[in-house]
Each structure stands twice: as structure tokens, then as C-alpha cells.
Chains A and B, each alone.
Chain A
Amino acid sequence: MKTRFLLEPFHVVGSSALDTAAQIGRWGGLGIDTLRALPRVETWGRLLPGQMARIGVDSVPIAIFIATFTGVVMALQASYTFTGAVPLYFVGALVGKTMILELGPVLTGLALSGRVGASIAAELGTMRVTEQIDALETLAYDPAAYLVVPRVLAGVIMFPVVVILATSVGVAAGWITSLYLLDMSTPEFVKGLRIFFLPWDVQFAVIKSLSFGLTVTSIGCFFGFTTQGGAEGVGLSTTRAVVVSSMVILVLDAFWAATLL
């Protein structure tokens, strides 16, 4: 009895590790099915524009909202930190560099993991528990081609677009804040913006946001597809999709910084 009590934590950790490994394996399986479904353009082609609108265009307001306030706060905090120590035109450098390299892609990615990832997991999870995915199969449709490919492709295409837009708005918000709240001039802000700017920074942001788009949509699809039970199962899948994709976004963020910068 005592031995069993002592071994219980190892049992819990072990079975949890096995579950996680099995989940990763199943996620990989869905990835292979998705790659196999790519040639079925006749199935996913007409669904792609609709998903691009839902995943990309509909996410623009929340992305812009977050970027605007981030830009404002960045400018104010930079000014607060630099005053008396560093020339104020460095506000432009900090806002630009940080928005492009980090906050634009990551904050947008995290916001979209909530909006897009949750929506995909809930929609596909409901389709799973109400047998709509089975019905698709009986109608000779490949569910990966019909449901996964258009969502994942839309995410990969639209996340960079939304991130570029949000980053631009964030930088613009920082510039307007500098003009009206920090008594800086436009040439000063632009000088700071250009001083450390590298074209590679934009490519880096695009690569990151592309990987975030892939992560959020594929994880949303995976948890939706593997939903079990009823409404509770759908809720659980939705929560897991948001939590896991947020975690993976942060891991990927560190990975890209370590490998590409």
C-alpha cells in the first residue's frame, strides 16, 4: 500500500507523458492527412476565400485594437525610460524594432489563437460530436480536404497580412503618441525608426507570423477533430486549442529568435 502511494506521482507523470506523446502522434497523423489532401484542389479551392475572410479579414479589428494601444504604451514607456539618459528620437527606434520583431507578431498571434483557434476547435468539435464529419465522409468527401486544408492555408496566408497591418498601425500609433504627447517631431521619430531598421526584420516577422498561422489553425483543427462527448467535450477542446496554441506560439517565438537573429 505504501509503495503504491509512493509510486503514484510517477504513475501520474508517466501516463500524462504518454498521453501527450500520443496526442503529438495524432497531430502528426492529421498533418500527414492534410498534406495528402492538398492535391484535392477541387474540394478546398472554393472554400479557401471564405476561410481567408473569416480568419484574416474578420480578425483585423481586434488586431488593430491591440496594436494601437501597444504602440501608444510603447512610445510612452520608452520616453519614460529614456528621458535624461538617451536622446528621445530613440523612442522611434524602440517602437519600430519592438513592434516589428516581437509585439506585432506575438500579440497578434496570441489574440488570434483565442479568436481563430477557439472558433475552429468549437466549430469542428461540434461537427464531430453531431456526426457531421462522419456525414462528410459518407458523401465521399475527404474531411481533411474539406475542413482542414482551407483553414490551415487561410491561416498561413492571412496571419502575415494581419500581422503586417497590425504592426504598421502599432508603429503609427507610437508616432502619433510621440507627436501629441511627447512633443517629438515627425523627423525625430522617423530618424529613430530608421536608425536600426533592417529589411530582414520584416522578413523575420513574416516568417514568425506564418508559423503562428500554421500553429493556431492546425492545433484548432486537431482539437476539433479529436473532440469526444457532447457540449463539455467541445468546451474542453476549445480551451485546449487556445492554451496549447498560445504555448506553442511562445515556444516558436523563442525558437525563431534563437535560430534566425
Chain B
Amino acid sequence: MSIVLQDVHKAFGSNRVLRGFSLEVHEGETVAIVGQSGTGKSVALKHVVGLLKPDRGEVWVDGVNLGQLTVDQLYEIRRNVGYVFQFAALFDSLTIAENVGLGLKRIPEMTGAAIADRVRECLALVELEGYEDRFPAELSGGQRKRAGLARAIATQPKYLLYDEPTTGLDPVTTTVINRLIMRTREELKVTSVVITHDMGSAYKVADRIGMLYQGVIRFTGTPEEIQGCPDPVVRGFIEGRPELLEGAG
């Protein structure tokens, strides 16, 4: 089991976001977590990389319980995890090449030339060759997301976490990003978790889909299974029928 969230609870003040969230992601698998906006999908994802700590419950990555790690041990785990942020979160004072190479500077055996080669390689993978010296502000939304993906894969992580990788993108760019996610999985053999509310993307990229509803995973299954799921909450979400969700409670 490579990523396990066990009965995770998380509240912000009186707002109980996660209320017993449990999910297992097997090695080499891509799992999409879907659900309405504001249901805590990103909150769940941030627990996987230790950006948030659960109020209750456990998070295991690579066989290690994150709650029992020192700060330095947590950084070691993070070296194996790439995180693609919803709005890319590129460092706006750094060029694209510097953004992509930043994680590589943490690896002692990487020399300047090796970093430059790896940066070029990653930018080529996301079709951003020639953009090395641009700043994030000079890129479009789709290009920024691709640069964010290049930064996440630069250190060749075992795990990739995508936070709404296609939100706000046009259909063509969405397809490009979906293909990149699938290509990354095939070429790098990574284990991935994709947060999305775009069912089209989820069907394309995921081996399994989990639906988050009211702080817990309501359903998990393959894309085919979720499409045949009789649960009105699941049906209401994937078919875009709010009346089914309201009726379910």
C-alpha cells in the first residue's frame, strides 16, 4: 500500500471538513478524488504531503506514518512526492528553468550541468521547450500548469499529487494536460492522486475514482463502476443533477 489515509478528521474552527476520510492508493495506480467544490478534496490531498496534519486519524506514505516523523524525516518523504498545485504556485520571482530546477538543487549529486539537462528534459516532456528564461507572469494559465507539472516531475518522484489540474482550462488544454498525466504515469511509473471535479478528466486518467461527500469517501470504484453506481449522491454528482444530491441528504 503506497498511500493510505485512515479515518482522517480535519476541522478549521467549527467547519468540520474531513469526518473520517479513508482511502488506499496502490502502487502504480492513479486514483481520482471527485466531489463538489468546497468538500475538502484539496484538504485531503495536503495531508498526503504533510502540509496539513490530521486532527484525528493516520496518513501513511511509502509505509511510513507521517504523524510520527521529525521535520527532517518529513522532508525525506517529500523528496519522493511531486505536487501539482491548482494554480501552479510557481515562484514568480524565478524563471521557469529556475522553478523547475529548484527541487533538483536539494539533491547533492546533481551538478549545475545535470540540473540544466534535467530541466530541459522536463520542459520538453510538457512541451515547453524554449520557455526556460520566461517568468511565470509571461505564461498562459495552461502553460503555467504544464510548468508546474514539469517542476513536480523533475526530481523523478514515486508519487504525484495533482490538485485540480484541469480546472479553468479550455477543452483543448484540458486534453493536453490529461494526456500529460497519462504519459507521466506510463513513462515514470508513478502512483498518482488526482483531485478534480471534472468527470471527463477523471474517466480518462484514473484507474479508480473515489467520491468525497460530506467529509467521507462515499464511493470508490473504476470509471465503469462509478458510471453504473445506483447511489443517488454519486449519480447526482456525475450527471450534474443537484436535485438527487439534495434528496439524498
Q: With contacts A138-B51, A140-B103 known, is A132 near B78, CB below 8 A?
A: no
Complex CA distance for A127 and B136, rounded to whole angstroms: 13
Q: Which of A136, A137, A139 has the most CB of B within 10 A?
A: A139
How many pairs of residues, A versus B, come closer than 8 Å at their CB atoms?
Answer: 52
Q: With contacts A137-B78, A140-B78, A142-B75 known, is A130 near B87, CB below 8 A?
A: yes
| A-side contacts of B50, CB under 8 Å | 137
When each residue 85-96 of chain B gets 1 if its CB lies under 8 Å from chain A and 0 otherwise, what string results? 111011110000
Tell me the chain A residues, 109-147 only, with Cβ under 8 Å from chain B.
126-127, 130-132, 134-142
- B71 adjacent to chain A (CB < 8 Å): yes
| A-side contacts of B85, CB under 8 Å | 131, 134-135
- B19 adjacent to chain A (CB < 8 Å): no
CB pair B92–A137 under 8 Å, yes or no, is no
CB pair B78–A138 under 8 Å, yes or no, is yes
| B-side contacts of A139, CB under 8 Å | 78, 102-103, 106, 151, 155
Size category of the B interface is: 20 to 34
B48 CB, nearest partner CB in chain A, Å: 10
CB pair A134–B46 under 8 Å, yes or no, is yes
| A-side contacts of B102, CB under 8 Å | 139, 141
A59 CB, nearest partner CB in chain B, Å: 19
Main secondary structure of the interface of B (DSSP, over half): loop
Main secondary structure of the interface of A (DSSP, over half): helix
B139 CB, nearest partner CB in chain A, Å: 14
CB pair B89–A132 under 8 Å, yes or no, is yes
Q: With contacts A134-B46, A134-B51 known, is A140 near B89, CB below 8 A?
A: no
- B83 adjacent to chain A (CB < 8 Å): yes
User: What number of A residues sit within 8 Å (CB to CB) of B?
Assistant: 15
- B179 adjacent to chain A (CB < 8 Å): no
| A-side contacts of B31, CB under 8 Å | none
* Contact among B81, B89, B151, B155 with A131 in the assembled complex (CB-CB below 8 Å): B89
| A-side contacts of B126, CB under 8 Å | none
CB pair B49–A132 under 8 Å, yes or no, is no
Tell me the chain B residues, 128-154 only, with Cβ under 8 Å from chain A.
151
| B-side contacts of A131, CB under 8 Å | 85-87, 89
Complex CA distance for A138 and B200, rounded to whole angstroms: 28
Complex CA distance for A127 and B71, rounded to whole angstroms: 21
Tell me the chain B residues, 63-113 only, with Cβ under 8 Å from chain A.
71, 75-76, 78-79, 81-83, 85-87, 89-92, 102-103, 106
* Contact among A135, A137, A140 with B91 in the assembled complex (CB-CB below 8 Å): A135
Complex CA distance for A36 and B75, rounded to whole angstroms: 14
| B-side contacts of A130, CB under 8 Å | 87, 89, 92
Tell me the chain B residues, 20-58 only, with Cβ under 8 Å from chain A.
46, 49-51
A99 CB, nearest partner CB in chain B, Å: 36
Q: Which of A126, A136, A140, A141 has the most CB of B within 10 A?
A: A140
CB pair B71–A140 under 8 Å, yes or no, is no
| A-side contacts of B106, CB under 8 Å | 139-141
| A-side contacts of B151, CB under 8 Å | 135, 139
| B-side contacts of A134, CB under 8 Å | 46, 51, 83, 85, 89
Complex CA distance for A165 and B155, rounded to whole angstroms: 46
Tell me the chain A residues, 128-174 only, with Cβ under 8 Å from chain B.
130-132, 134-142
* Contact among A126, A132, A135, A138 with B81 in the assembled complex (CB-CB below 8 Å): A138
Complex CA distance for A61 and B50, rounded to whole angstroms: 44
CB pair B83–A135 under 8 Å, yes or no, is yes
Could you show 8 A-B contacts with beta carbons less than 8 Å apart? A130-B87, A131-B85, A131-B89, A134-B83, A135-B151, A138-B82, A141-B106, A142-B75
Closest 5 pairs between A and B when the two form their complex, measured CB to CB: A138-B83, A131-B89, A135-B89, A139-B103, A140-B75
Q: Chain A: residues with CB nearer than 8 A to chain B? A: 36, 126-127, 130-132, 134-142
